[in-house]
Chain A
Amino acid sequence: MNISEFIEKLEAEFDELEPGTLKPDTNFRDLDEWSSMHALIIIALIDTDYDVTITGDDLSSIETVSELYDIVAQRVA
């Protein structure tokens, strides 16, 4: 897994996002479409595809795509 694969996966799950919108330093909350549903989708995606548990509190504690990637990369080991 690397961060660009990870970003591709995230973008694929968010139907409204144009490919290429997400960058490692993108702040989730700055996205116009950001909602509670996206948090649920991120949690479920990471659980399904990486077998890693992310909580809502984890998401509250981070802001950017790369911070999310770091959590997953750390826990997948």
Chain B
Amino acid sequence: MNPFSLAHKTILVTGASSGIGAEAARMISKSGARVIITARNEERLKATFNSLEGSNHGYVLADLTNEEDIKNLIDQIDHLDGVVHSSGIVRPFPIKFIGAKQIDEMYGANYYGPVVLTSKLFRAKKINAGASLVFMSSISSKFPHKGGALYSGSKAALNSFSKTIALEYAPQKIRSNVISAAMVRTPLFDEAEKAISKEMMDKHGEDYPLGFGDPEDIGHAILFLLSGGSRWITGTEIVMDGGLSAGH
């Protein structure tokens, strides 16, 4: 049997209305797994749903900062062999503009959502033995940028959460890992480019030996982490940065 096959698996993908989540959902469906996708925006979530290959997939609208929505999502899930957490936001906040509102906004989307969803999935016994959880994190969790205190902090918190899952659920052979990505061309990339200007983004790109990433590049690593091919990998991170952190 092909150790990299996702056949007969059911995978939940959050943040599936755009960017890495949408691309990962499509790639997972092509690999023969059943995919359940979720996001807040109905129109874009349906567009992703319609682009999935094969049948028997599902979609559930949910705002993961809302506990009722999480409950409803979990009610509609039978059992999962994998979860891809790719919901999240990026916004720069210089330190002196950080307040409770900004913390709630950033940690609500980037930490509360994936953490509470995961916790409740376990409590409801919806995660099968041998399952694999993948969290989208960021290289900024170790190398923050100006204005990135909250974003990089929320991702660092997620890294620790993932390691803790790896420890607590090893007896069931449930694995958890993060992908620490640098800049990938997604709608968030376009937003970041608007926020800091195209000029600065192009300059940043010069530091990437392999250039900026594409969602498909991340998708390949997600497929690997979801498959049995990575069965001895847990509690760690895969850095995907096109060589950015190798040095220059």
A contact set with B: CB distance below 8 Å: 13, 36-37, 39-41, 43-45, 47-48, 55-57, 59-60
Q: Whole-angstrom distance from the CB of A54 to the nearest CB of chain B?
A: 9
Q: Whole-angstrom distance from the CB of A75 to the nearest CB of chain B?
A: 15
**Chain B interface extent, by class:** 10 to 19
Chain B residue numbers with a CB within 8 Å of A43 are: 92, 195
Give 29 A-B contacts (CB < 8 Å), ordered by A residue: A36-B146, A36-B196, A36-B200, A37-B94, A37-B146, A39-B196, A40-B92, A40-B146, A40-B196, A41-B94, A41-B96, A41-B97, A43-B195, A44-B92, A44-B93, A44-B94, A44-B97, A44-B147, A45-B97, A47-B97, A55-B194, A56-B193, A56-B194, A56-B195, A56-B198, A57-B194, A60-B197, A60-B198, A60-B199
Q: Whole-angstrom distance from the CB of B66 to the nearest CB of chain A?
A: 24
Mostly, the A contact residues are: helix
Judge whether A56 and B146 touch: CB under 8 Å: no
A55-B195, A59-B197 known, 10 other contacts, Cβ within 8 Å: A36-B146, A37-B94, A39-B196, A40-B94, A43-B92, A44-B93, A44-B94, A44-B97, A56-B196, A56-B197
Considering only residues 73-97 of chain B, those with a C-beta below 8 Å from chain A are 92-94, 96-97
Q: Which single residue of chain B is at the shortest CB-CB distance from A42?
A: B94
Q: Which single residue of chain B is at the shortest CB-CB distance from A15?
A: B96
Chain A residue numbers with a CB within 8 Å of B96 are: 13, 41
Q: How far is the CA of A34 from the CA of B224 in the complex (A)?
A: 45
Q: How far is the CA of A56 from the CA of B194 in the complex (A)?
A: 5
Q: Whole-angstrom distance from the CB of A10 to the nearest CB of chain B?
A: 14
Judge whether A40 and B197 touch: CB under 8 Å: no
Judge whether A57 and B197 touch: CB under 8 Å: yes
Q: Whole-angstrom distance from the CB of A53 to the nearest CB of chain B?
A: 10
Q: How far is the CA of A41 from the CA of B147 in the complex (A)?
A: 9
Q: How far is the CA of A36 from the CA of B199 in the complex (A)?
A: 11
Q: How far is the CA of A35 from the CA of B197 in the complex (A)?
A: 13
Q: Which single residue of chain B is at the shortest CB-CB distance from A35?
A: B146
